[in-house]
C-alpha cells in the first residue's frame, strides 16, 4: 500500500513541473505586459517602460526568467504580486479558505442530493421519476453558471428576501479571521447571529457551484447502480429475502460508489472553474476571482503562483481519490 | 410559560430590529467594484484605488465635492509670485492625524514636514520610501512634475515654498489630484524604524474625515468617522466599502438595502432604477470625450478637405441613438461643455454624405478608397461599444465610396500601436483628471504628436500649439478662455479628429441618502453625505 502511495505521489512531480512551465509561457504569449496594462489611455514613454520592465526583470530572456522563477519555487518563494506588491503565497493563503469553504459546501450539497437522486432513479428505472430526474440533471449540467446564479439571487434574495445577495457575512459583524473559514470563525467570535449569517451567505453560492457536480454525480450514481443491480450477488441477496433497503443500501450502493468517488474527485476541477464565476456573482473573496483579475492585469507572479498552488491541490485531491479507491477496491491496490 | 417565551422572543426580535436599524442609520455602505492596489494614491492610477484612499486623506488644495473648482485643503491660503514661478502655501494649523491605526500614535499635528515628505517620496531617489511598493509614480511623472518642480522648501512649520522652472497655471489643479495626497512623515519614520515600511501603503494614516479600520482583500474595507477632523465630523459613524465586482449583484444589493450607494449601474438597469420608488438615479455629463482620430501623416488624411469630408460622412446622431442610448451627448469640441472655455459658437459639420463625396472628389481622392478603421477592443466610460461604432462608421463610409477595414488589437497593444501612429484612422477617448482645459487640449499639441505620444492624429499646428503653450503661462482666466476658444475653432477648421460624444455618468443611491453629489471626475466621496 505504501509503495502505491509513494509511486502515485512521485508521478505528480513531472505533472506540476510541466504545469508551471505551461502557465509561465502561456501568460507571456498573451499580448500586453503588466506595465502597459496599468497605463490606461495615458500610455507610457519608452524610457519609463524600459525602466519598469528592467525593475520587474521582464527584460531578461524568457528562459532566464523561468529559471529564476523555478529557483525561487525551490526555495519556497512564489514571488511578489506586481499589482499589490504583496507576497503571492500570502495572498493565496488569505483568499483560499473562502474558496475552500465554498467548495466544501457545494460538494456536500452535490453529494447529499446527487447520490440519493441517482439511486432512486436507478431503482425506479424507466419511470416518470427517473426520466424527470435525469432530465433535470441534464439541464443542471448545461446551465450557464452566471445566469443560474443571478436567477437565484433575484428570486431568493430580492423577491423573497430569504437570503443575502452577496458577500460572506453581514457587515454588522466584524472579527479578525482565525481559520479563514467563516463558519468556524463566526463560532469562535462568539458574536450573536454571526454563524447564522455565515450559513445564510453560503446557501446560494453553494447551490450555484454545486449544481453541475450534483448533476454529474446523480447521473454517474444512476448508471453505476444500474450495472450493479444486474449483478449476481444482488440477485442472491434478494433471493435470501433481505429487505430492499439492505439490498440496495448495503450490497449494491457500496459497490456502485467506486466510480462515483472518482467522479467526485474529478469534479474538483469543475468546482474551481465554476468558482471563478460564482465568486464574481456573489462577491466571494476567493482565489477564482483573484486569478481572473491577475489575468486581466497581467500580474505574472500572482497568476503563475496561483495556478501552480491550485494545480498542486487538485493533483493531491486526485491522488487522495486514487488512494481512497485503492482502499475501497483491493484490485486497484494490488495492481490487478 | 409558552406565552412568556413568545413574548420574550418577540421582545428580542424587536430589540434586534431596533439595534439593526440604529446601526444602519449610522453606517453608510458603498458597493464598490474592485479591490484597491494599496492606499497610497501616488502609487496608483485607478479610480478604484483613489476612491479607497480618499476617505483617509487630504491634499494641499482639493476639488470641491461635485465640482471641478479648486478649494483650500491642508493649505488654507496660497500666494503666487508675480512671475508665476513661486507658490507659497500657508498651511492649516491644528490638523490632527488619525491616532491608534496600526499602533501609531502621532506626537504632533500636521506640518510642513509632511508636505515635503509627500513631494520627496515621489520626486527624490534618495528618499527612503522612494522604492517602497514598486515606486511607480505614474501621475507625478505624467503631470510633468519632475520637469516642472525646481524646489519645495520648508519656510517654517506652517509655510511651504514651491518654486517652478516655468510658470504653469494648471499646477493648482494638479496639486488637487489624488497623487498629491499628503501623508504623515512621522508615521513613515515610525514604520521605517519598525522595519515594515511596506505597511505605509497598506495601512493608511492620514488627516482625512475617516480613519482606516480594516481591509479584507476582495471583500470589504472599513473606516470610521474621525471625530477630530478639521472639517468637522461626518454625519454618519461608519463607512463600509462592500466590494462587489458584478454590476447586477450591486444593483440587487442596493435594491435590498444591503448598500446605500452603488458604483456604475448597468445601462440596462437604468430604467428600472429610475422607476423604483426606493431608489434615486442621478446623472451628469461626464468629463470625457470619445473621438476618432485621422492620422495626418498618412495620405489622404494630410489634406484638411479630406478630413472635413469624412466628418460629414458619419451619422453622429445615429451613433448617439444606437450605441449611447440616451446616455451620451454629441460632441463638437474636444472638451465637454461642463469645462470652462467651451466654445459653443463652433458649428458642427452636418451629416451630408452627398457633399462629403463631392469634397473627396474635389480633393483629388480616387474612389473607391481603401482605409483602415481601428476600433476599441473594450468598453470605456466614454465609449460603450467601440466595435458597434466602428461598424456604423464603416457602413456610413461605404455610402461615399470608402472601404474601411475594421482593425483591432488587445487593449494594451491597441493603444501602443495607435500612439506609434500605425493607423490611418482610429478610435480612442479621454477622461479628464483635473477639470483644466489644458488637460484635454494637450492631446492635440505638438509635444504629444511625437511617435509614441498621445496625439493620435500626429497633427501639429503652430497656431494651435502656440496658444496651448501661451495659455499655460497666463493666470488671467479670461485671457486663457479666449485662447482656448480660438483653439477650438482652429481644431474645428482643421479637423484632425472627429469628435464622437461625451458620455453621461449615472449613479444610484437609496432614497434615504442625502447630499450625495456626482463627481465630474468619477470620484466617489462620502464626507458630507447624510443618511435619513
**At residue B10, does pLDDT exceed 50?**
no
Q: Is residue B125 part of a domain?
A: yes
**At residue B24, does pLDDT exceed 80?**
no
pLDDT of residue B473: 86
Of B142, B214, B252, the CB nearest to A42: B142
Let me know whether B254 and B296 are in one domain: no
Residue-wise pLDDT for A192-250, tens only, equals 899 999 999 999 999 999 999 999 999 999 999 888 888 888 888 888 888 888 888 77
At B493, the pLDDT band (50, 70, 90 cuts) reads very high
Question: Strand B279-285 and strand B497-510: pairing?
Answer: antiparallel
The count of domains in chain A is: 1
pLDDT of residue A251: 79
Mean pLDDT to the nearest integer, A260-274: 81
Chain A residue whose CA is closest to B440: A42
Q: Is residue B483 part of a domain?
A: yes
Of A171, A282, A293, the CB nearest to B29: A171
pLDDT of residue B2: 43
Overall size of chain A counted in residues: 336
Closest CA to B443 of B328, B335, B343, B298: B335
Q: Is residue B273 part of a domain?
A: no
Q: Is residue A42 part of a domain?
A: no
The residues, ordered by sequence, that sit 6+ positions from B191 with a Cβ below 8 Å of its Cβ are B102, B104, B197, B199, B200
Task: Identify all chain A residues contacting B201, using CB atoms and an 8 Å cutoff.
Answer: 85
**Contacts with B, A 267-286, CB within 8 Å:** 280-283, 285-286
Interchain proximity B38–A84, CB inside 8 Å: yes
Name the phi and psi angles at A173, rounded to 5: -95, 140
Residue-wise pLDDT for B153-171, tens only, equals 999 999 999 999 998 888 9
ipTM of the prediction: 0.84
Interchain proximity B256–A158, CB inside 8 Å: yes
Work out whether the CA dihedral B165, B169, B171, B172 comes out positive or negative.
positive
Residue listed under C-alpha cell 485662447:
B483
C-alpha to C-alpha distance for A34 and B225, rounded to whole angstroms = 36
Interchain proximity B413–A32, CB inside 8 Å: yes
Q: Is residue A5 part of a domain?
A: no
Residue-wise pLDDT for B263-315, tens only, equals 988 878 888 999 999 999 998 888 999 999 999 999 999 999 999 999 999 99
The whole domain housing A134 covers: 94-279
Task: Identify all chain A residues contacting B142, using CB atoms and an 8 Å cutoff.
Answer: 42
pLDDT of residue B433: 86
Mean pLDDT to the nearest integer, A118-127: 88
Let me know whether B337 and B292 are in one domain: yes
Q: Is residue A143 part of a domain?
A: yes
Any idea which of A44-48, A181-185, B15-19, B110-114 has the lowest mean pLDDT?
B15-19
Q: Does A37 touch chain B (CB under 8 A)?
A: yes
Let me know whether B454 and B480 are in one domain: yes
pLDDT of residue A334: 61
Let me know whether B322 and B431 are in one domain: yes
Q: Does A201 touch chain B (CB under 8 A)?
A: no
Mutate to test the interface with A, among B245, B421, B442 (most CBs of A within 10 A): B245
User: b vs e for A5-22, b when ≥16 Cβ sit within 10 Å of the residue's Cβ?
Assistant: eeebeeebeeeeeebbee
Closest CA to A118 of A204, A213, A208: A213
At B258, the pLDDT band (50, 70, 90 cuts) reads very high
The whole domain housing B414 covers: 288-505
Q: Does A46 touch chain B (CB under 8 A)?
A: yes
Burial class (CB in 10 A: 0-12, 13-18, 19+), A3: exposed
Task: Identify all chain A residues contacting B431, using CB atoms and an 8 Å cutoff.
Answer: 41
Q: Does A144 touch chain B (CB under 8 A)?
A: no
Task: Identify all chain B residues contacting A37, using CB atoms and an 8 Å cutoff.
Answer: 411-412
Strands (E) in B386-474, as ranges, are: 402-407, 425-431
| In chain B, % of residues over pLDDT 70 | 95
Distance, CA of B456 to chain centre? 20
Chain A residue whose CA is closest to B215: A176
Let me know whether B179 and B60 are in one domain: yes
Write out the three cell numbers for B114: 509632511
Let me know whether B85 and B134 are in one domain: yes
Of A43, A157, A177, the CB nearest to B419: A43
Interchain proximity B138–A39, CB inside 8 Å: yes
Residue-wise pLDDT for B101-131, tens only, equals 999 999 999 999 999 999 999 999 999 999 9
Closest CA to A171 of A193, A203, A204: A193
Cα-only R_g, chain A: 24
Mean residue pLDDT of chain B comes to: 91
Q: Is residue B279 part of a domain?
A: no
Any idea which of A26-30, A272-276, B11-15, B382-386 has the lowest mean pLDDT?
B11-15
Any idea which of A253-262, A313-322, B4-13, B315-324 has the lowest mean pLDDT?
B4-13
**At residue A31, does pLDDT exceed 50?**
yes
Interchain proximity B255–A158, CB inside 8 Å: yes
CATH of the domain at B88: 3.90.76.10
Mutate to test the interface with A, among B25, B198, B214, B219 (most CBs of A within 10 A): B219
**At residue B3, does pLDDT exceed 70?**
no
Q: Is residue A322 part of a domain?
A: no
C-alpha to C-alpha distance for B408 and B374, rounded to whole angstroms = 6
Is B316 within 8 Å of B330 (Cβ atoms)?
Answer: yes
**At residue A271, does pLDDT exceed 80?**
yes
Let me know whether B120 and B244 are in one domain: yes
How far is the alpha carbon of B494 from chain A, nearest alpha carbon, in Å? Answer: 24
How far is the alpha carbon of B202 from chain A, nearest alpha carbon, in Å? Answer: 9
Interchain proximity B412–A39, CB inside 8 Å: yes
Is B339 within 8 Å of B440 (Cβ atoms)?
Answer: yes
Let me know whether B371 and B478 are in one domain: yes
Name the phi and psi angles at B216, rounded to 5: -115, 115
Chain A residue whose CA is closest to B413: A32
Mean pLDDT to the nearest integer, B479-501: 96
Q: Is residue B477 part of a domain?
A: yes
Closest CA to B294 of B381, B371, B365, B382: B371
Closest CA to B400 of B349, B366, B427, B446: B366
Interchain proximity A85–B201, CB inside 8 Å: yes
Q: Is residue B145 part of a domain?
A: yes
At B375, the pLDDT band (50, 70, 90 cuts) reads very high
Q: Is residue A257 part of a domain?
A: yes
Interchain proximity A280–B413, CB inside 8 Å: no
Closest CA to A24 of A74, A49, A1, A58: A58
**At residue B321, does pLDDT exceed 60?**
yes
Mutate to test the interface with A, among B246, B291, B414 (most CBs of A within 10 A): B246
How far is the alpha carbon of A91 from chain B, nearest alpha carbon, in Å? Answer: 9
pLDDT of residue A209: 93
Of A43, A46, A174, the CB nearest to B415: A43
Residue listed under C-alpha cell 483613489:
B50
**At residue A131, does pLDDT exceed 60?**
yes
pLDDT of residue B288: 93
Interchain proximity A39–B45, CB inside 8 Å: yes
Mean pLDDT to the nearest integer, B33-52: 90
Chain A residue whose CA is closest to B213: A174
Q: Is B232 helix (H, G, I), strand (E, B) or coil?
A: coil
**At residue B14, does pLDDT exceed 50?**
no
At A296, the pLDDT band (50, 70, 90 cuts) reads confident
Residue-wise pLDDT for B378-403, tens only, equals 888 899 899 999 999 999 999 999 99
CATH of the domain at B383: 3.10.105.10
Most confident of A17-31, B20-34, B204-218: B204-218
Q: Is residue B6 part of a domain?
A: yes
Of A36, A40, A165, the CB nearest to B416: A36
Q: Does A159 touch chain B (CB under 8 A)?
A: no
| In chain B, % of residues over pLDDT 90 | 75
Closest CA to B487 of B278, B341, B296: B341
CATH of the domain at A116: 1.10.3720.10
**At residue A174, does pLDDT exceed 60?**
yes
No. of H helices and E strands in chain B? Answer: 18, 22
The count of domains in chain B is: 2
Chain A residue whose CA is closest to B290: A41
Write out the three cell numbers for A14: 513531472
Task: Identify all chain A residues contacting B411, using CB atoms and an 8 Å cutoff.
Answer: 32, 37
Let me know whether B222 and B342 are in one domain: no
Let me know whether B172 and B48 are in one domain: yes
Task: Identify all chain A residues contacting B16, using CB atoms and an 8 Å cutoff.
Answer: 193
**At residue B4, does pLDDT exceed 50?**
no
pLDDT of residue B62: 96
Q: Is B339 helix (H, G, I), strand (E, B) or coil?
A: coil
pLDDT of residue A32: 74
Let me know whether B394 and B318 are in one domain: yes
Task: Identify all chain B residues contacting A174, using CB atoms and an 8 Å cutoff.
Answer: 214, 222
C-alpha to C-alpha distance for A90 and A305, rounded to whole angstroms = 11
Chain B residue whose CA is closest to A291: B218
Predicted TM-score of the model (pTM): 0.86
Any idea which of A252-256, B78-82, B252-256 has the lowest mean pLDDT?
A252-256
Is A206 within 8 Å of A109 (Cβ atoms)?
Answer: yes
Strands (E) in A186-317, as ranges, are: none
Let me know whether B35 and B157 are in one domain: yes
pLDDT of residue A335: 56
Any idea which of A55-64, B3-12, B444-453, B495-504 has the lowest mean pLDDT?
B3-12
Task: Identify all chain A residues contacting B413, using CB atoms and an 8 Å cutoff.
Answer: 31-32, 36
Amino acid at each position: 500500500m505504501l509503495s502505491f502511495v509513494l509511486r502515485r505521489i512521485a508521478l505528480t512531480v513531472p505533472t506540476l513541473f510541466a504545469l508551471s512551465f505551461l502557465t509561465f509561457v502561456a501568460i507571456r504569449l498573451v499580448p500586453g505586459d503588466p506595465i502597459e496594462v496599468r497605463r490606461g489611455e495615458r500610455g507610457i514613454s519608452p524610457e519609463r517602460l524600459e525602466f519598469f520592465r528592467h525593475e520587474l526583470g521582464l527584460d531578461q530572456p524568457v528562459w532566464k526568467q523561468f529559471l529564476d522563477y523555478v529557483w525561487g519555487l525551490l526555495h519556497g518563494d512564489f514571488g511578489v504580486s506586481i499589482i499589490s506588491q504583496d507576497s503571492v503565497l500570502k495572498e493565496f493563503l488569505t483568499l483560499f479558505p473562502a474558496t475552500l469553504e465554498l467548495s466544501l459546501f457545494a460538494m456536500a450539497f452535490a453529494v447529499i442530493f446527487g447520490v440519493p437522486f441517482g439511486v432512486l432513479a436507478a431503482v425506479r428505472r424507466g419511470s416518470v421519476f427517473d426520466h424527470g430526474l435525469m432530465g433535470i440533471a441534464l439541464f443542471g449540467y448545461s446551465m450557464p453558471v452566471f445566469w443560474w446564479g443571478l436567477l437565484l439571487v433575484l428570486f431568493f434574495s430580492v423577491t423573497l428576501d430569504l437570503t443575502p445577495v452577496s458577500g460572506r457575512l453581514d457587515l454588522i459583524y466584524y472579527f479578525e479571521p482565525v481559520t479563514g473559514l467563516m463558519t468556524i470563525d463566526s463560532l469562535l467570535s462568539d458574536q450573536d447571529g454571526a454563524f447564522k449569517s455565515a450559513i445564510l451567505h453560503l446557501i446560494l453560492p453553494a447551490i450555484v457551484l454545486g449544481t453541475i457536480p450534483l448533476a454529474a454525480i446523480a447521473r454517474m450514481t444512476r448508471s453505476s447502480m444500474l450495472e450493479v443491480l444486474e449483478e449476481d450477488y444482488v440477485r442472491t441477496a434478494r433471493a435470501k429475502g433481505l429487505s430492499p433497503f439492505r439490498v440496495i443500501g448495503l450490497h449494491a450502493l457500496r459497490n456502485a460508489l467506486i466510480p462515483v468517488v472518482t467522479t467526485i474527485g474529478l469534479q474538483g476541477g469543475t468546482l474551481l472553474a465554476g468558482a471563478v464565476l460564482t465568486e464574481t456573482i456573489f462577491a466571494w473573496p476567493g482565489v477564482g476571482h483573484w486569478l481572473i483579475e491577475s489575468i486581466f492585469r497581467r500580474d505574472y507572479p500572482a497568476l503563475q503562483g496561483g495556478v501552480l498552488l491550485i494545480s498542486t491541490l487538485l493533483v493531491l485531491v486526485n491522488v487522495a481519490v486514487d488512494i481512497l479507491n485503492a482502499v475501497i477496491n483491493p484490485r486497484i491496490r494490488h495492481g490487478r | 410559560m409558552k406565552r412568556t417565551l413568545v413574548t420574550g422572543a418577540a421582545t428580542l426580535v424587536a430589540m434586534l430590529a431596533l439595534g439593526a436599524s440604529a446601526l444602519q442609520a449610522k453606517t453608510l455602505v458603498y458597493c464598490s467594484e474592485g479591490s484597491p492596489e494599496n492606499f497610497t494614491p501616488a502609487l496608483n492610477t485607478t479610480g478604484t484605488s483613489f476612491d479607497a484612499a480618499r476617505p483617509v486623506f487630504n491634499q494641499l488644495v482639493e476639488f470641491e465635492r461635485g465640482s471641478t473648482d479648486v478649494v483650500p485643503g491642508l493649505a488654507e491660503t496660497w500666494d503666487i509670485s508675480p512671475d508665476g514661478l513661486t507658490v507659497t502655501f500657508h498651511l492649516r494649523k491644528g490638523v490632527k492625524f488619525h491616532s491608534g491605526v496600526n499602533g501609531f500614535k502621532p506626537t504632533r499635528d500636521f506640518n510642513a514636514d509632511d508636505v515635503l515628505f509627500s513631494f520627496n517620496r515621489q520626486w527624490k531617489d534618495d528618499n527612503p520610501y522612494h522604492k517602497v511598493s514598486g515606486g511607480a509614480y505614474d501621475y507625478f511623472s505624467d503631470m510633468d512634475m519632475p520637469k516642472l518642480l525646481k524646489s519645495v522648501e520648508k519656510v517654517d512649520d506652517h509655510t511651504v515654498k514651491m518654486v517652478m522652472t516655468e510658470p504653469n497655471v494648471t499646477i493648482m489643479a494638479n496639486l488637487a489630484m489624488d497623487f498629491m495626497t499628503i501623508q504623515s512623515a512621522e508615521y513613515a519614520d515610525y514604520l521605517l524604524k519598525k522595519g515594515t515600511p511596506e505597511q505605509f501603503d497598506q495601512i493608511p494614516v492620514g488627516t482625512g474625515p475617516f480613519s482606516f479600520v480594516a481591509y479584507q482583500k476582495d471583500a470589504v474595507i472599513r473606516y470610521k468617522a474621525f471625530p477630530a477632523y478639521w472639517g468637522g465630523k461626518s454625519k454618519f459613524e461608519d463607512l463600509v466599502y462592500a466590494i462587489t465586482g458584478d454590476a447586477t449583484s450591486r444593483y440587487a444589493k442596493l435594491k435590498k438595502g444591503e448598500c446605500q450607494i452603488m458604483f456604475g449601474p448597468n445601462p440596462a438597469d437604468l430604467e428600472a432604477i429610475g422607476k423604483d420608488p426606493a431608489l434615486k438615479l442621478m446623472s451628469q455629463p461626464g468629463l470625457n470625450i470619445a473621438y476618432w482620430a485621422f492620422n495626418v501623416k498618412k495620405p489622404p488624411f494630410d489634406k484638411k478637405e479630406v478630413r472635413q469630408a469624412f466628418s460629414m460622412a458619419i451619422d453622429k446622431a445615429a451613433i448617439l441613438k444606437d450605441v449611447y442610448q440616451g446616455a451620451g451627448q454629441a460632441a463638437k469640441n474636444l472638451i465637454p461643455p461642463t469645462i470652462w472655455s467651451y466654445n459653443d459658437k463652433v458649428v458642427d459639420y452636418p451629416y451630408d454624405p452627398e457633399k462629403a463625396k463631392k469634397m473627396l472628389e474635389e480633393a483629388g481622392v480616387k474612389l473607391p478608397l481603401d482605409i483602415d478603421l481601428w476600433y476599441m477592443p473594450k468598453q470605456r466610460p466614454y465609449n460603450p461599444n467601440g466595435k458597434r461604432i466602428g461598424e456604423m462608421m464603416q457602413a456610413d463610409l461605404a455610402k461615399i465610396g470608402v472601404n474601411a477595414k475594421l482593425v483591432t488589437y488587445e487593449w494594451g497593444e491597441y493603444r501602443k500601436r495607435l500612439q506609434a501612429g500605425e493607423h490611418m484612422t482610429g478610435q480612442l477617448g479621454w477622461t479628464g483628471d483635473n477639470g483644466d482645459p489644458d488637460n484635454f487640449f494637450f492631446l492635440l499639441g505638438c509635444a504629444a504628436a511625437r511617435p509614441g505620444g498621445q496625439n493620435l492624429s500626429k497633427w501639429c499646428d503652430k497656431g494651435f500649439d502656440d496658444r496651448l503653450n501661451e495659455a499655460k503661462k497666463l493666470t488671467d482666466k479670461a485671457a486663457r478662455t479666449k485662447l482656448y476658444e480660438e483653439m477650438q475653432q482652429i481644431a474645428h477648421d482643421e479637423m484632425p479628429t472627429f469628435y464622437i460624444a461625451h458620455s453621461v455618468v449615472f449613479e444610484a443611491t437609496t432614497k434615504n441618502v442625502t447630499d450625495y453629489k456626482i463627481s465630474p471626475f468619477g470620484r466617489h466621496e462620502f464626507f458630507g453625505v447624510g443618511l435619513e
